[in-house]
Amino acid sequence: MPEYAGTVEAVSVSAGHTMSKTRQESIRLLAGLGVEGDAHAGTTVKHRSRVKRDPSQPNLRQVHLIHAELHDELRDAGFDLEPGEMGENVTTRGINLLGLPVGAVLRLGEKAVVTITGLRNPCSQLDGLRTGLMAASLGRDADGNLIRKAGVMGVVLNDGEVRPGDPILVSIPEGPRRPLEPV
């Protein structure tokens, strides 16, 4: 498996179903569940709109990761956001999260391991934070295809503490790459 590295810039959690999460000194990832103490932790879906459709669906959205480079881009566009405000549990730096394939494996810190399941689909709740933020979280590539920039989702494979400054090691599975789609 090819590997490369980045770093954890911030970690955040929210016990309630709020858009923004509060920055922490550390978070604990729990295998098969997600972020300890976070409203979205569990083996089955916890996002309210998905629970309404089918509460028995597997939770492919246990951990939300956003690249700090998106915050930089949004700041340049006039949106001054702090890590966690867009609902992410882990803010990364130095990793092209949106370019990862399904099944990419991230080792965060010493022990925590997350596998990427798909893209976060930006929702209109972002406009509740800042008017126009949802549109700013979308883009188009050279061929006109929609780009969802609001991060990626994953499931926890191995328990571990995660802190700002921790290294992130990314492993890309061998074989054909399956591009990320919204989950």
Handedness of CA 117, 122, 125, 130 (dihedral sign): positive
Q: How many residues does the chain have?
A: 183
Is residue 3 scored above 80 in pLDDT? Answer: no
CATH numbers and ranges of domains, the chain: 3-171 (2.40.33.20)
Is residue 2 scored above 60 in pLDDT? Answer: no
Give how far Cα 133 sits from Cα of 23, 125, 126, Å: 20, 9, 6
Closest residue by Cα to residue 37 from 60, 19, 63: 63
What does the pLDDT look like over 108-139, one tens digit per residue?
Answer: 999 999 999 999 988 889 999 999 999 999 99
Burial level of 76, CB count in 10 A (0-12/13-18/19+)? exposed
Closest residue by Cα to residue 29 from 139, 106, 130, 85: 106
- Say how far residue 30 (Cα) sits from the centre of its chain: 15
- The mean pLDDT of 11-29, rounded to a whole number, is 97
Express as a percent the part of the chain with pLDDT over 70: 98
- Pairwise CA distance, residues 154 & 85, whole Å: 18
Is residue 9 scored above 80 in pLDDT? Answer: yes
Q: Which two tokens stand for residue 97?
A: 């999260």
Is the pTM of the predicted complex or chain greater than 0.75?
A: yes
Helix (H) or strand (E) holding 25: none
- The mean pLDDT of 26-34, rounded to a whole number, is 98
* CB-based contact 91:4 (threshold 8 Å): no
Closest residue by Cα to residue 60 from 89, 39, 40: 40
- The mean pLDDT of 72-100, rounded to a whole number, is 97
